Amino acid sequence: MTSVSINPSRLSGRIRTMGQIGALPGGGVCRLAMTDEDKLGRDQFVAWLRELGMSVHIDVIGNIWGIRAGAEDGAPVMMGSHIDSVATGGLYDGVAGVMAGLEVVAALNDAGVTTNKPIAVAAFTNEEGARFAPDMMGSGVHQGALDLGEMLATVATSGDGVLGEEMKRIGYAGDIPPRSMVPAAYLELHVEQGPVLEHEGIRIGAVTGVQGISWTEFTIEGQSNHAGTTPMALRHDAGLVAAQIAAEARQIATDFGPPQVSTVGVLEVSPGLVNVVPLHARLTVDLRNTSEERLVEAETRLAKFADEAAQQERCSITSRKLARFAPVEFDKSIVARVENAARARQMNVRRMPSGAGHDAQMFAPNCPTAMVFVPSAGGLSHNINEHTEEADLAAGTQILLDVTLELAGVKK
């Protein structure tokens, strides 16, 4: 089997270059989807694709991918991830996978290796869902899991823009329709974003699948009133209802136990004045579980609690689903290839599910798909101090290259 080696310093250099785009003063990055910073990141990615001699393709929701020709035509082996970030993001979430794909191609170019199948490297639109919900939006449209028209019409959660218009504004409205390209296989390298690999001293995660994700936004209307003169029994305190829902979200995770998790990421009350009973509250609840059945149970319990809490306080409440994805399993034969490739290079490896959502979950129903995890220092992510050691990133990228060569084949 042909063996090609990656170049760790070139890989780290690209990570650093991308980390300067949307850099925050105290470290980390903010490249929210379809912002000027996202555009600059996209421009840099396209420039690298061209430097590597790849053809550049942009689809109707702004996904970008490059293709390196193989000896044969047909469906490529695709690698990818995302370059958009949360507002307080680190240097590695998503970027590691896209840069690893570029490094695989650069190493193949250096080695003068022609693969049988073409190779594709992608950066998908709005994986984070931080500005426009849901997350995994670009890959979801690309693979037919999300409706293009609905996604283009999505208004930013904070109201500052419409996705389709922002995409045109930054110049990344392509014309390739959804589902026009189903790869021969899809591989994604990603930082683990959790503590397991580091805690166990393991270098490579052979990811078995992604847990289910449920995002709900609750909007509560009460009555603003004087904090001093209004008897407690006569209040309609929207802030109280929101706080009760937040406490119940945590209680669900406690009662269900692992792997159930729950997060209240947004909790706003208005008018937000010390001596005014809140008129309005808005909160989001992120529920996740590896079991679809348990996730439905958690959602049902939360919805029932929210209605009762609002009724109790004589407030009105509405809710809307911002994201909902069932758990997915990855292709067992490719998971085994990741494991065997790591062992062949004397790297310790373990199988594990992903707690975070990834673009890979959109490909899993349509083509053989798997992921390679590398350790996150301190298990940190969605945090400006996110870090992965260069040696770990290089090791994961080498495994990505080895499995890609197996799947794409090498021209004799």
- What number of chain residues touch ligand HGY (CB under 6 A)? 6
Question: Which one of residues 59, 103, 127, 359 is an interface residue with ligand HGY (CB under 6 A)?
Answer: 127
Contact in structure between 105 and 121 (CB atoms under 8 Å)? yes
What is the Cα Rg of the chain in Å? 23
Stretch that binds ligand HGY, among 66-74, 126-134, 259-267, 366-374 (CB under 6 A): 126-134
The count of residues in the chain is 412
- If one counts every other C-beta atom within 10 angstroms of the C-beta of residue 307, the result is 12
The one-letter amino acid code at 379 reads G
Pick 94 or 161: Cβ nearer Mn ion: 94
Residue closer to Mn ion (CB basis): 306 or 371: 371
For residues 314 and 61, what is the distance between their CA atoms, to the nearest angstrom? 42
> Which of 84, 93, 188, 402 contacts Mn ion by CB under 5 A?
93
Q: Does 128 bind ligand HGY (CB under 6 A)?
A: yes
Among Mn ion, ligand HGY, none, partner that 164 touches (CB below 5 to 8 angstroms by kind): none
Query: What's the min distance (Å) between Cβ of 358 and ligand HGY?
Result: 7
DSSP 8-state assignment for residue 314: T
Does the protein bind ligand HGY through residue 135 (CB under 6 A)? Answer: yes
Amino acid at 308: E
Residue of the chain from 187, 245, 356, 364 that contacts ligand HGY (CB under 6 A): 356
Nearer to ligand HGY, 129 or 161 (CB): 129
Q: Which stretch binds Mn ion (CB under 5 A): 88-96, 110-118, 144-152, 269-277?
A: 88-96
Q: Are 140 and 129 in contact (CB under 8 A)?
A: no
Q: State the DSSP string of 83-148.
A: ----TTB-SSTTHHHHHHHHHHHHHHHHHT--BSS-EEEEE-TTSS-SSSSSSSHHHHHHTTSS-H
| Distance of closest approach, residue 67 Cβ to ligand HGY, in angstroms | 26
Calpha distance 100→17 (Å, rounded): 14
Burial 233-264, CB ≥16 within 10 A → b, else e: eebbbbbbbbbbbbebbeebbeebeeebbbeb
Segment interacting with ligand HGY (CB under 6 A) among 38-46, 127-135, 256-264, 337-345: 127-135
The rounded distance, in Å, linking the Cα atoms of 352 and 333 is 15
Which residues inside 94-153 make contact with Mn ion, applying CB under 5 A?
94
198 counts as binding ligand HGY under rule CB under 6 A: no
Least distance from ligand HGY to the Cβ atom of residue 384, Å:
15
Minimum separation from the CB atom of position 245 to Mn ion (A)? 24
Can you tell me the distance from the alpha carbon of 103 to that of 109, in angstroms, rounded to the nearest whole number? 10
The least CB distance from residue 128 to ligand HGY, in Å, is: 5
Q: Which is nearer to Mn ion, 93 or 198 (CB)?
A: 93
Least Å from the CB of residue 404 to ligand HGY = 24
